[in-house]
Every structure is written in structure tokens, then in C-alpha cells.
Structure 1
């Protein structure tokens, strides 16, 4: 059976898109971002293509908003009404990677958070977290928010230098599987990401 994984983060710019690119490329999966807010630099789809994901495996967003902020506000500024019924992961052949925006509690509309969407979908969520100072609090709060809504958590992936205490503490207290870690790469391109992902993660954990 093909798997669908939802990738979310503990915050903005934690490395969620880089992780999603690495996982999508490693699995030969299809990638979908329901809402892209901020298109001046091409959006996350362009970033994934540059990081080794075949363009044919990148699906168009349900909503593509110009303003770079939370989707609810971006939609209001752009004069767009987001219909949650359009935000349903598509059926594809093979694995599907769905990426949210920012953290799990970012609002999609005034009344709907990403975590609420994840609860509707019931696909396993991978939480991406920094290893930097403050990550224990941010990660455990995110885990609590997801668990409170009955969202299945597949595990947590870390980005940054190894910090054993923080990583182990989050996994133990949060009761989640520790999937692996991507270091910050001095040169971020498709070959470097593929090598780092292969070294940092076991693809059997995503079977």
C-alpha cells in the first residue's frame, strides 16, 4: 500500500522543505503543498526541483498566494477565499509527501489550523525540528497540539548539529520515534542533500 506522509515543522525556517525534498527524492515520491503563500522567489516547488525532485512529481498547489505570510492573512490580502474542501491530499501512484506551511498551528483560514487539517486527513505526520536551543519546548508543544487533535505522528526528524540530550529528551517525553537528523549543509544542492539524507535516515522507517 502506498504511503502518504505529512511534513510539518515546529516553526518557520527549521528546514522542513529541505527535509521534504530529501524524503521525496529518496522515495521517488510525489510532492504536494496545499497552499503556497509567497511566490516572489518561485515558492517551495521551485526549491524542491532544485534539490533533486523531478518536476513531473511536483503537483500544483490548490492555492498559490503572492503575499509571504500565514495562509489566512495572505488569502485575505490577495482577495482569495480558501475552501478547505479543496485541501484534500490527492490520490497518486506511489508515495505522497504533503508539506504544510510553517508550524502545525499556523492558520489556513481564520477558523482552521493546519493541525485541524491533519486531523481530518489522518495521514501520519513527520515533525521537523531544529536541534538548536529552545527546540525541546517548541517540539513538545507541537507534539501535544497534534496529539490533542488525534493526529497520528510518524516520528520526528531533526535539522542541525547533533545535540543528543535535546533529541533524546524530545523523543522520550513526547513518546515519538526519532527518525534521524540532517546536518546544515555548507553547499545545499541535490547531490549533497541526497548523500546527507542517505546517511541520516533509514528508508525502511518510511516503508
Structure 2
């Protein structure tokens, strides 16, 4: 079964593009549990535009572009953690922002990941600061007993940073998705195939 959670070390680093690439390569449905901010293209809409996989509807769609806990408060929505149960079967789940983003005032995404016990792929930038952010993310997940499948780097190659994070974090490197321009279904598929081994996700 192909079933993974995709989280990251920060917001806006390319988790959605990696999630789309992985979903496309494996033919796996995609699910974003909570979408915050609806004025621009949502993550589910981005994945749907780029790749032809099934998209599960979000459990919550929040208008305010903020952390889910705050967006829900501003929008007057009560997030029920029990509603955040992943659909059965093959699935790529994308979290919001980083692993310690609050879902509610008492629950972080990492807490959900621990509850689900689904292997997590940590997406990390290769830019300056990534060693600290990545190791903190890995430590936070491990401390909660979250199974980590591996690291997916995003951006230009920085060999020392990538190797250092994998070694110190005790997590394997899955590959690195470079900046893709123009970004289309075809170029995304080519980049994933060139930089990742599909067998690592099966």
C-alpha cells in the first residue's frame, strides 16, 4: 500500500509540489485535511491541475490565510479532531506548514501524525538554515513516536547540508526535487523520475 504523510520544515517550501509529484508517480489519491486561505489556488486545486489523481475533499476549508487553529477561530469554525481521520486505502496526506503547526489550541499536526502512525516524509529546503529547521522537525516527530519514512529535499543541490541532516537526524535521504520551470505535469513527472527511486515509495 502506498500511504504517506507529507510534512515540512516550514511553510511555502514546496510540499504541495512534492506531494503532487509523488501522487502522480504512484497514482495515489491526495488529501489535504485542512485548507486555510481560499482567495488563491488551494493546495488541492494545485495538485488537481498538475496531476491526474483522485482528490479527497478537505475536512475543513477556512477562509482566513493563517495557521488552522487561528483561521478557524477567526472564521467561527470549531475543528473536531475526530473529523481528521484519513480516508482508507492508498493516500498522500499533506499537512499545513511545519510539523508543529497548531490544528487547534491543544493539538499540533505532529500529534495527529502520532495518532495516525502513517509513515511521514519530511520536506526540507536546501537553503541556509535548513539544518537547524530539519533537525528540529525530525526531533519533534521522533519524540512523539511518529514513523519517519525519509527526507525529500527541495531546491538547488547543497550536498553537505543534505548529508548532514540525514546523518545527524538518522533519517534516509529519498532525493531532491529541484526548482522546475516551467512547471507542468510533464516537467514534474520528469523531475521526480530523475531524482527519486520509485521503489522507495512502494
TM-score where L is the length of structure 2: 0.98
1:75 has 2:72 as partner = yes
| Structure-2 residue corresponding to 1:60 | 57
Q: CA deviation at 1:3?
A: 2.8
1:106 is the counterpart of 2:105: no
CA displacement, residues 166-192 of structure 1 (integer Å, 9 cap, x when unaligned): 000000000001000010112111111
Q: Which residue of 2 aligns with 1:141?
A: 136
Once the 2 structures are TM-superposed, how far is the Cα of residue 42 of structure 1 from its aligned partner?
3.2
Q: Structure 2: how far apart are the matches of 1:3 and 1:23? A: 10
Contact 1:10–1:129 (CA under 8 A) maintained in structure 2: yes
Is the partner of 1:194 in helix, strand or coil?
A: helix
Which residue is equivalent to 1:24?
23
Distance 2:6 2:15 in 1: 7
- How big is each residue's C-alpha offset from its partner over 1:108-128, in whole Å with a ceiling of 9 and x where there is no partner? 001100000000000000000
Check conservation: 2:2, 2:28, Cα contact below 8 A.
Answer: no
Question: Structure 2: which 5+ residue stretches go unaligned?
Answer: none
Q: Distance in 2 between matches of 1:130 and 1:119?
A: 23
Structure 1 contact 7–99 (Cα < 8 Å) conserved? yes
**Residues paired across the two proteins, number:** 202
Query: When the two structures are superposed, what TM-score results if normalisation uses the length of structure 1?
Result: 0.96
Q: Which runs of 4+ in 1 moved over 2 A?
A: none
> Does structure 1 retain, via aligned residues, the 8 Å contact 2:38–2:63?
yes
Runs of 5+ unmatched residues, structure 1: none
Partner of 1:196: 191
SS of equivalent to 2:163 = helix
Task: Give the Cα separation in 2 of the matches to 1:160 and 1:104.
Answer: 20
| Partner-residue secondary structure (3-state), 1:23 | helix
Aligned ranges for residues 165-176 of structure 1 at < 5 Å? 165-176=160-171
RMSD: 0.7
The Cα of 1:50 is off from its aligned counterpart by 1.7
Q: CA deviation at 1:134?
A: 0.5
